[in-house]
Amino acid sequence: MSESIDLSLIQSNKCFGGTVYKYEHYSPSLKCRMRFNIFLPPNAPLDSTTKVPVLYFLSGLTCNEDNMITKAGAQRLLSEQGIALVTPDTSPRNTGIPGEDDIWSIGSGAGFYVDATTDKWKEHYQMYTYIVSELPELICSNFPINKEKSSVFGHSMGGHGAIMIALRNPGIVSAFAPICHPSECPVGTSAFEEYLGPNKSNWLDYDPTELASNYQSEHVNILIDQGSDDAFLKEGNLLPDHFVAAVENSKNYITLETHIQPGYDHSYWFVQTFINDHIDFHAKFLKS
């Protein structure tokens, strides 16, 4: 890895026999310093010659690299399964873009996993490139990770990111309460307009529902869990029914399993309840 990336260890904590490491690095695609956590299971310490599969978890609005790894309780099963976990941040930070910290659903903590094209955001907000290209290269060059065995999952805005990425780079994907149709919901339209401009045709490649409705590529397997008492769902920000209908059009190419979980909300209490189902879902493919 090039020295300019300056990968620095910030913290390490033993966890279920493995270790959670926090790193900081300079990101050439985002032009700022970024942090991520990586959990290495007991069978793949840093100096291991054994390479293990990896899961990338994309978090939701207002989150950083810590929310999921500290709250979802994934490490117990990942440790047993011998699967690594990477939790990236959700946006560039401290870029100096005016107002970057002012609105909870745009800017810091709200990168929406797109490569921005508008003058205001495009220099730094290249989260699609960061998550799909830069970060996996950095991870596979510096850690005992099997490049061929990786998949992505996420929550809310990160569920949108995970499904969108898996439909553009066919693979296994799962999501908790994903923003399924960002082009049609309040938080999605305001962010897409800001990052991609007002022309909705430029939004389609970043929208899970739009991508699914025309999908005719390698088979994709998707698992979604959705709480029935989720405030974001009730506000019309998630629109899972739009996604289910879109998949109907592409059912020869997409297998979708959706679980509506009665009484659960949008929080990490919900995520931690079903995290093991998601790890098992990925493990079937990652370890085959």
Distances in Å between the Cα of 63 and the Cα atoms of 57, 71, 87, 149, 212 are 12, 12, 11, 26, 26
Active-site residues, by number, are 156, 230, 266
Name the β-bridge partners of 145. 52
Q: What whole-number distance in Å separates Cα of residue 102 and Cα of residue 79?
A: 38
Q: How far is the CB of 249 from ligand GSH (least distance, A)?
A: 28
Q: Which of 156, 174, 183, 250 binds ligand GSH (CB under 6 A)?
A: 156
Q: Residue 234 or 284: which CB sits closer to ligand GSH?
A: 234
Q: What whole-number distance in Å separates Cα of residue 178 and Cα of residue 226?
A: 8
Q: What whole-number distance in Å separates Cα of residue 155 and Cα of residue 68?
A: 9
x/- track of binding to ligand GSH for residues 71-110 (CB under 6 A): x--------------------------------x------
The SS3 of residue 232 is helix
Q: How far is the CB of 280 from ligand GSH (least distance, A)?
A: 22
Alpha helices in the chain (DSSP H): 67-71, 75-81, 127-129, 135-142, 157-168, 186-196, 208-213, 231-234, 240-249, 268-286
Q: Specify the pairing of strand 145-155 against strand 18-27.
A: unpaired
Distances in Å between the Cα of 270 and the Cα atoms of 57, 71, 139, 274, 282 are 15, 10, 29, 7, 19
Q: How far is the CB of 110 from ligand GSH (least distance, A)?
A: 9
x/- track of binding to ligand GSH for residues 252-271 (CB under 6 A): --------------xxx---
x/- track of binding to ligand GSH for residues 36-75 (CB under 6 A): ------------------------xxxx---x---x----
Q: Residue 155 or 282: which CB sits closer to ligand GSH?
A: 155
The SS3 of residue 219 is coil
Which residue number is nearest to ligand GSH in terms of Cβ?
60
x/- track of binding to ligand GSH for residues 176-215 (CB under 6 A): ----------------------------------------
Q: How far is the CB of 275 from ligand GSH (least distance, A)?
A: 13
Q: Which spans of this chain sit near ligand GSH (rule: CB under 6 A)?
A: 60-63, 67, 71, 104, 155-157, 266-268
